[in-house]
Homo-oligomer: A and B are copies of this chain.
Amino acid sequence: MDTFKLVRPEHLNHYGYLFGGFLLKWVDEIAWIAASRDHPGCRFVTVAMNSVEFHKGVHQGTVLRFHSHEHSRGRTSVQYAVSAFADDLESGQEEPIFSTCVTFVNLDESGEKMPMPGATGSES
């Protein structure tokens, strides 16, 4: 699944760069959307995010493309990989910004871990 965000003034620190914290907030939400669309009926809650490294500053007016896909699956959890790319609207060139993995656990209505539909294994 691909989705897009426009970096606007409210997302910048006072040096004019995108706050890293916004990237992490977006990655969490986007991975959640991808997982929830792929697994109808599951109730996912974020339990972990891998370490991240930001190699380039991102400026106002940049369009970010986020690509996310299922990376692995446990008995009660799924892990989604998300990669972010910055699109230079002048040249149309795109370059990678960072990537990470987000882990979600599937909960029932009382908040207890629940096996994923079709899960047969014993790992979490």
Contacts and interface: CB of A to CB of B under 8 A. Distances in A.
Interface of A: 1-4, 6-10, 12-15, 17, 19-22, 24-30, 32-33, 36-37, 40-41, 43, 45-55, 57, 60-61, 63, 87-92, 107, 111
A54 B47 contact: yes
Contacts of A6: 29, 32-33
Nearest to A17: B45
A46 B20 contact: yes
A88 B41 CA distance: 9
Contact of A52 (B9, B19, B49): B49
B4 A91 contact: no
Given A6-B33, A15-B43, A21-B24, 15 more contacts: A1-B4, A2-B3, A6-B32, A9-B14, A14-B60, A15-B107, A17-B45, A19-B46, A20-B45, A20-B49, A24-B25, A33-B63, A37-B63, A40-B88, A46-B54
